[in-house]
Chains A and B, each alone.
Chain A
Amino acid sequence: MITAQGLTKTYGQKTAVDGITFTVEPGRVTGFLGPNGAGKSTTMRMILGLDRPSAGSVTVNGHRYADSPAPLREVGALLEARALHPGRSARDHLRWLAVSNRIPAARVDEVLDLVGLDAVAGQRVGKFSLGMGQRLGIAVALLGDPPVVVLDEPVNGLDPEGIRWVRTLARQLAAEGRTVFVSSHLMSEMALTADHLVVIGRGTVLADCSMSEFIADHAASYVRVQSPQRGEVADLLRRQGLDVDVHDEELRVQGLDAAAIGELVGTSGLLLHELTLVRSSLEDAFMTLTADSVEYSAHEMAPTSAGIAR
């Protein structure tokens, strides 16, 4: 269990994390979602006691991280920046970490095998690809068999198979009753992994709810109805207490599913040209929610008058 209370971090004039409060419960995957620069990594560093909060507090299992007698056996973390010396081998990196927290040496080979790095354990990590480095980071996180697992952008640099592996792993760890806190800037990834969501933007919590609530609240769906008798259809549906919006040639109807709308219109003898369930994607919902809080936004390129020579 991770509990943040009014957690704040300021760097001079700039506020990176602005009084956020949330709880990460055990037994489920909690997604920590936000655009780049939203304060995710800063928050994770404060959880691990690496950065000192400017105000507020964050505790793991009821106490500060730094007060844990054996932190790696209580919280396993994958940090965004590769916290590795490029000249050290993967096994040696895990070995000193294990020794520092009195984790049995046998566990080193166990986690190397678990993340699939056993064959390259003796190689210097400077030669590792981004994906291999990421796997080693996950091995570090699992080294102490910790009840709390914090993963900062774990799928960065992984191939599709690796992404699926991390997803399965996170779900499995949660199923075992562990607290799993995973950050990402990809809504689509979170949608497949997380049970619960904490969304932040510009250092404040924008949403803290279950994934299904988030979908219900933010990913609105409607039934698109096209008919040559648009006005009559709209009146009919409105009389049934449905919410009908007129958009150009189409009607957007909320409150009833497509089949029921079709039957209603059909039994009234009106014509239908289209009847489609339209669901806005989670990605759209996330974009809408965080639109105002994106720190670095790109603008579309204006077409040059000369164009590109073809």
Chain B
Amino acid sequence: MTMTPTSQTVVLDPKSNVPGVRAPGFPDTLRAEWIKFWTVRSTFWSTAMLFVLGAGLTALVCALAAKDIASGAAGESAGSFVTWGMMIAQITAIVLGTLVATSEYGTGMIRATLSATPRRGAVLAAKALVISSTLFVVGTVTAFAGYFAGNWFLSREGVGLALSDDGVLRALFGSGLYMAGLGLFAAALGLLLRHTAAALSAVLALVFVVGNMAWLLPGTWGEWIAKAMPGNAGSGVATPVSFNPNLLGPWTGFAVFAGEVAVLLLVALVAFRRRDA
């Protein structure tokens, strides 16, 4: 092992800085989080899975159901099918969101992260931006791809939907928004629980199991709880016509979901700033 001499800048004052190097700010934290996000394999595989499931299953289900939709035997509107795969793809969004937070704790990476950027609010904001922007773009692209593929089968049977039809464009961009929201929801819970399996089970249970069970609650209050469950409130925006007629309106529901995500992020931020790393 040969040692090359280290440079001579010893009394390096980070305020005055090395020539040409300025003090880091939020854009640098954001870039660092972006690099971290894309330099682990799970990110590529999760986003690829999101696309395959989201677009692929939409196309498959539309192909299989087109005849029944056209004949009326399906008993559902074609609008319920053009984003069908996103219902399954949301699992990968949840996985990705959870891992963004919990992988740091599982590996001890969090210590490196916070020693590089001690401003914890900035770290959380950067993570939130990275996960939500990625999921919004990938979710929207996937929804469009699924729509174009699935709608081809529907159009063959004469029940296709135009992009200009009511709720179609809203649902395609809404799919991206819902994926982004789910990712943030999972990341916030991941930051609170700091354990991959625990956080993943909690989010999946809350969105899929508890969300569906809640419809069994009696009375008006039970109905409102069911409507407000994150998966139920947020998913309406992601489909032109929902299978479930009891959901809140698409934007009303999404506003409720966004509020829930915001509250959870805030709780996560408070805990993140207080706790030892």
Write the residues of chain A forming the contact surface with B, with a CB cutoff of 8 angstroms: 45, 48-52, 65-66, 68-75, 77, 79, 81-89, 92-93, 95-97, 99-104, 113-114, 116, 140, 142, 145-147, 161-162, 165, 168-169, 172-173, 176-178
Bound-state Cα–Cα, A77 to B118, Å: 14
> For residue B29, which residues in chain A have a CB less than 8 angstroms away from its CB?
100
B40 sits at the interface (CB 8 A): yes
The answer to whether B118 touches A87, judged by C-beta atoms less than 8 angstroms apart, is no
Q: For residue A86, which residues in chain B have a CB less than 8 angstroms away from its CB? A: 107
Tell me how far the C-beta of B116 lies from the nearest C-beta in chain A, rounded to whole angstroms: 4
Would you call A113 and B4 a contact (CB within 8 A)?
yes
Please name all residues of chain B whose beta carbon is closer than 8 Å to the beta carbon of A114 when the two chains form the complex: 3-4, 6
Closest 9 CB pairs of A and B: A100-B32, A66-B118, A83-B112, A92-B39, A70-B14, A50-B277, A96-B35, A51-B276, A69-B23
Contacting residues of chain B (1-25) with chain A, CB-CB under 8 angstroms: 1, 3-12, 14-15, 17-18, 20-24
Interface residues of B (CB under 8 A from A): 1, 3-12, 14-15, 17-18, 20-24, 28-29, 31-33, 35-36, 39-42, 103, 107-112, 114-119, 274, 276-277
With A66-B119, A176-B8 already in contact, the answer to whether A165 and B31 are too (CB < 8 A) is: no
User: Does the CB pair A69–B14 fall under 8 Å?
Assistant: yes
| Cβ–Cβ contact A165 & B12, under 8 A | no
| Nearest A residue to B42, CB-CB | A87
A73 to B7, CA, bound (A): 13
Q: Kindly identify which residue among A71, A99, A178 contacts B32, using a CB–CB cutoff of 8 Å.
A: A99
Q: Is the CB of A85 within 8 A of B107?
A: yes
Contact flag A79-B14 (CB < 8 Å), given A50-B277, A102-B22: no
A17 to B8, CA, bound (A): 35
Known contacts A72-B116, A99-B31: A50-B108 contact under CB 8 Å: no
Chain A residues with CB under 8 Å of B117's CB are 71, 100
CA distance A114 to B2 in the complex (A): 8
How close is B130's CB to chain A, nearest CB, in angstroms?
12
Taking a contact as CB atoms under 8 Å apart, the answer to whether B118 and A88 are in contact is no
A50 partner residues in chain B, CB cutoff 8 A: 111, 114-115, 276-277
The residue that A81 contacts in the complex, of B14, B39, B41, B108, with Cβ under 8 A, is: B108
Which residues of A lie under 8 Å from residue B6 when comparing CB positions?
114, 142, 145, 172-173, 176
Query: What is the bound-complex CA distance between A5 and B112, given in angstroms?
Result: 25
Given A65-B118, A85-B103, A100-B116; A168-B3 close (CB under 8 Å): yes
Query: Are A102 and B24 in contact, CB atoms less than 8 angstroms apart?
Result: yes
**A146 nearest CB neighbor, chain B only:** B12
Inter-chain CA distance A26–B153, complex, in Å, is: 73
